[in-house]
């Protein structure tokens, strides 16, 4: 059917292409490219250089040596040991931008200044002057005939010589000065460190640069010990041929150089800039920094150079193309940034050798291990060192990231954006546009789908193979997105614009909803079935379907929902069957709940309009319904024997399960009660009793005051961060106790944690899907829990451990401090895919004011791989305690 040029397929294909080109640089397409890049990095297998060793300032070192920062003579001792061991290059990533003045050294300086300015220090010189003048006067008196005067002068001279002022006092003052100078040298840790750096002769220091657009000139020029590290202008090539865009290396407006006393002793000083992508991940290493027209090499580049016995004179820069280090050619983007390779650790060993600073310092690790190696010294302790998101690790310490960059340079393991990539990408986009405009509209649905699928596979496989085999990053996500979008829109347009297609779509949609609704109803998922049935045409033919659904609601005692279905039927045909009477009865059944005796053989909870005495369930009096739980209704009850108020969870097993499964379900229900009853912990709900009354199984448990934590997960109702950390810590300790007793909760979420503000009582509830791990019958493929809080292994249907609960607890922490879930999607399938494959958002991008230590805890708890996740709740609680201490110290400093 021809409808004119405005509805033609070729124009539609052209419009789609132009729209995709307009959004070629959008964040969405950029995120697709970054995800493809990360996947290729994780899929690549390369071996890092074995000449790099990391000495980590870790938690163990800080616990044994003392809180950070340490006196710098400790660093000096480490450098002395590494010199003894014969290290080739030592890189210090610790900042030395300010002098470290010991309080005792400051006191010595003041004491020395006061003494030198006092009259006591001038006594020896004054005595010498006095003695000299008397001798001079005595010479003059020799020519006079006054023996008494000459005698008096000689006596004065003799007295001065014999006086302690001219002998012992001078000796004491000299000794005092010597002692003060010795104390000054012992307490001057900067001088001690500078001496060790000078003796080592192979130490490279770190100088952070702050990126920004530089205008004018710097406030002050660098000292000679800094400028000697800049690349000679003669080694820089910047021509139109090599740099057609006129780009420059990353520009910086400020730097934090090491203090002169330390910096002058270093063999070299390298620049460092942590340049993250828009998603917060580190993928590139700026090899050259442009500081007001002067080019400084990065610390990674300098380390590689020194390990090859090269200096800055051996570094040549072709701006926009490459950096040459001796015979090494390091290809860069137009901003002189290297796309670093990130190596993955094997199961048996880590990528690089990592030793504790304390162990090396104490001699537990022989320094001969570092002979002729590159040694990187940096922080990994919580709250001390920075961590970065990288393609292979969401919490990689900065010192490890530096090791990856150095190895990438030495092994030439880096990714290259080829200069011809833009032309290839443009050609592919043009060919796909022609395919969408002129070829796809002429193909049948099946043929078009197959060809489009083959083209899409070719694009994705080409990008993947080029990265993993050739190290070439050819960005093809935009052409792939163009193909997917164009195919979907064009085929949908062609289908919907025909009357036959529209009619067939309506019929198939209605039939699909009817069949799916009946299937869901058969599985007992009545709410979802109701949603599907409401999408059917409002015709008389569907009334019987809704009537049967209402009866099923009545069988499950959900009388309010049954009444809703009857009302829906009444809107279509108010005279259908007995819906008026049933609707009225359902309304009355919502108001009063009683438990019938022998008259109700089903043992279900029924309602009676006539008032009777309080019903009984076992030995418990039923007061009222509290709500619906995971296993059934929950009631407020009372034990009349001891006047104890309890919460009673019930489940009509015979109505919810088939007869062939009923025995197994009952066994599982009471196994749950037995399992949870073994747990005695202040932060876990207490189970008192379990039993069965006709067809109702029940569990009597501790009645809790307060509300669940679901009230505090929205942006406007968030609790203070310190309060959240305290609550999560208590949950972690409660789960740690349960896990040590072989109990896994499997459904940790805010709704299953009760908290009473008044008494500050916290309880983990609803171990309704918990299992004893050593006797579980849960098989692979059974998924239990709430999807948004599930762990990747739970999504996959694997047998889970306590680490799954800690992942769910990490989701809770993320939601309670940021007001949103880490994984969100429009469909269940997309949500499960994100949890299994996508990294969670960087908390700092959502709330920049969030303390870094919270982000570290979240990253650790939400690690996809079990080996990178907390192994027990106690570990998580310890990290939370440290974070609270860090926050308290920072708060105290801010108040000061």
- The set of catalytic residues is 747
Q: Are 710 and 754 in contact (CB under 8 A)?
A: no
Q: How far apart are CA 145 and CA 538, in angstroms?
A: 147
Contacts of 512 (CB under 8 A, 6+ apart): none
410: nearest Cα among 41, 49, 50, 88: 49
Residue owning tokens 């299953």: 752
- Other Cβ atoms within 10 Å of 458 Cβ, number: 14
Q: How far apart are CA 554 and CA 579, in angstroms?
A: 13
Q: Are 55 and 377 in contact (CB under 8 A)?
A: yes
Read off the tokens for 240.
């139109």
Three-class DSSP category at 283: coil
Concatenating the DSSP letter of every residue in 424-459 gives HHHHHHHHHHHIIIIIGGGS-HHHHHHHHHHHHHHH
The values of phi and psi at residue 377, to 5°, are -110, 120
* Cα separation values, 314 from 205, 232, 236, 324, 327, Å: 19, 9, 11, 8, 10
Three-class DSSP category at 687: strand
Q: What is the largest CA-CA distance in the chain?
A: 155
HEC string of 381-424 equals CCCCCCEEEECCEEEEEHHHHHHHHHHHHHHCCEEECCCCHHHH
* Cα separation values, 362 from 66, 295, 464, Å: 14, 40, 47
Q: Is 563 exposed, middle or buried (0-12, 13-18, 19+ CB in 10 A)?
A: buried
Q: How far apart are CA 483 and CA 348, in angstroms?
A: 43
Q: Are 745 and 806 in contact (CB under 8 A)?
A: no
* Cα separation values, 626 from 634, 646, 647, Å: 5, 11, 8
Helix%, strand%, coil% for the chain, nearest 5: 50, 15, 35
């Amino acid at each position: 059917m021809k409808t004119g040029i405005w509805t033609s397929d070729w124009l539609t294909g052209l419009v789609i292409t132009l729209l995709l080109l307009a959004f070629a640089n959008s964040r969405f397409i950029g995120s697709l490219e970054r995800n493809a890049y990360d996947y290729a990095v994780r899929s690549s297998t390369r071996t890092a250089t074995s000449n790099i060793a990391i000495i980590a300032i870790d938690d163990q070192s800080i616990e044994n040596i003392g809180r950070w920062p340490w006196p710098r003579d400790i660093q000096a001792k480490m450098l002395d040991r590494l010199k003894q061991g014969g290290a080739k290059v030592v890189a210090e990533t610790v900042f030395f931008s300010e002098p470290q003045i010991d309080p005792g050294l400051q006191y010595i300086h003041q004491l020395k200044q006061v003494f030198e300015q006092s009259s006591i220090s001038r006594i020896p010189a004054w005595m010498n002057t006095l003695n000299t003048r008397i001798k001079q006067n005595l010479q003059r008196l020799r020519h006079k005939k006054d023996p008494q005067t000459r005698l008096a002068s000689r006596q004065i001279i003799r007295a001065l010589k014999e006086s302690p002022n001219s002998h012992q006092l001078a000796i004491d003052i000299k000794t005092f000065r010597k002692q003060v100078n010795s104390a000054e040298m012992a307490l001057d840790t900067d001088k001690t460190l500078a001496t060790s750096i000078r003796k080592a002769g192979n130490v490279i220091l770190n100088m952070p640069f702050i990126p920004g657009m530089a205008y004018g000139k710097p406030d002050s020029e660098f000292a000679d010990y800094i400028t000697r590290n800049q690349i000679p202008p003669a080694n820089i090539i910047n021509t139109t041929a090599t740099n057609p865009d006129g780009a420059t290396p990353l520009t910086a407006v400020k730097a934090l150089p090491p203090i002169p006393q330390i910096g002058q002793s270093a063999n070299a000083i390298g620049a460092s800039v942590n340049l993250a992508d828009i998603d917060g991940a580190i993928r590139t290493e700026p090899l050259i920094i442009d500081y007001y027209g002067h080019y400084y090499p990065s610390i990674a580049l300098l380390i590689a150079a020194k390990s090859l016995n090269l200096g800055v004179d051996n570094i040549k820069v072709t701006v926009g193309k490459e950096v040459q280090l001796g015979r090494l050619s390091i290809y860069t983007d137009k901003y002189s940034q290297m796309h670093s390779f990130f190596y993955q650790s094997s199961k048996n060993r880590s990528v690089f050798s990592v030793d504790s600073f304390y162990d090396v310092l104490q001699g537990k690790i022989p320094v001969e291990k570092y002979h002729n190696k590159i040694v990187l010294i940096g922080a990994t302790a919580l709250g001390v060192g920075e961590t970065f998101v990288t393609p292979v690790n969401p919490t990689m310490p900065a010192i490890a990231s530096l090791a990856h960059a150095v190895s990438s340079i030495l092994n030439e393991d880096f990714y290259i954006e080829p200069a011809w990539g833009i032309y290839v990408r443009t050609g592919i986009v043009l060919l796909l546009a022609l395919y969408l405009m002129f070829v796809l509209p002429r193909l049948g649905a099946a043929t078009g789908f197959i060809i489009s699928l083959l083209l899409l596979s070719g694009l994705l496989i080409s990008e993947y193979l080029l990265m993993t085999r050739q190290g070439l990053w050819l960005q093809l996500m935009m052409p792939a997105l163009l193909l997917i979008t164009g195919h979907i829109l064009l085929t949908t347009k062609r289908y919907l614009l025909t009357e036959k297609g529209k009619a067939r779509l309506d019929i198939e949609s209605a039939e699909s909803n009817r069949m799916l609704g009946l299937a869901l109803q058969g599985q007992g998922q009545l709410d979802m079935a109701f949603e599907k049935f409401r999408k059917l045409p409002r015709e008389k033919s569907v009334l019987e379907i809704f009537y049967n659904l209402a009866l099923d609601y009545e069988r499950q005692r959900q009388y309010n929902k049954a009444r809703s279905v009857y009302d829906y039927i009444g809107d279509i045909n108010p005279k259908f069957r007995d819906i008026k009477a049933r609707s009225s009865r359902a309304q009355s059944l919502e108001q009063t709940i009683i438990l019938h005796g022998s008259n109700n053989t089903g043992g279900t909870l029924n309602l009676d309009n006539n008032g009777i005495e309080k019903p009984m369930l076992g030995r418990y009096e039923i007061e009222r319904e509290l709500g619906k739980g995971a296993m059934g209704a929950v009631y407020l009850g009372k034990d009349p024997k001891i006047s104890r108020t309890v919460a009673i969870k019930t489940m009509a097993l015979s109505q919810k399960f088939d007869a062939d499964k009923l025995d197994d379900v009952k066994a599982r229900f009471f196994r749950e009660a037995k399992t949870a009853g073994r747990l005695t912990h202040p932060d876990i709900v207490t189970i008192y009793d379990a039993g069965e009354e006709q067809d109702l199984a029940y569990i009597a448990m501790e009645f809790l005051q307060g509300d669940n934590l679901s009230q505090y997960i929205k942006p406007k109702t968030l609790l203070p961060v310190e309060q959240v950390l305290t609550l999560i810590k208590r949950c972690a300790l409660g789960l740690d106790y349960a896990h040590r007793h072989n109990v896994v909760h499997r459904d940790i979420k805010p709704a299953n944690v009760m908290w009473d503000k008044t008494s500050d009582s916290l309880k983990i509830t609803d171990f309704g899907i918990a299992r004893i791990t050593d006797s579980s019958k849960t098989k692979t493929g059974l998924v239990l829990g709430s999807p948004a809080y599930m762990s990747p292994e739970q999504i996959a249907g694997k047998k889970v451990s306590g680490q799954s609960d800690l992942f769910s607890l990490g989701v809770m922490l993320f939601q309670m401090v940021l007001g949103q879930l880490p994984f969100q999607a429009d469909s269940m399938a997309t949500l499960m895919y994100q949890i299994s494959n996508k990294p969670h958002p960087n908390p700092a991008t959502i709330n920049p004011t969030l303390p870094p230590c919270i982000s570290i805890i979240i990253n650790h708890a939400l690690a996809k791989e079990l080996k990178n996740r907390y192994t027990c709740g106690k570990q998580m609680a310890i990290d939370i305690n440290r974070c609270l201490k860090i926050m308290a110290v920072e708060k105290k400093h801010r108040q000061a």
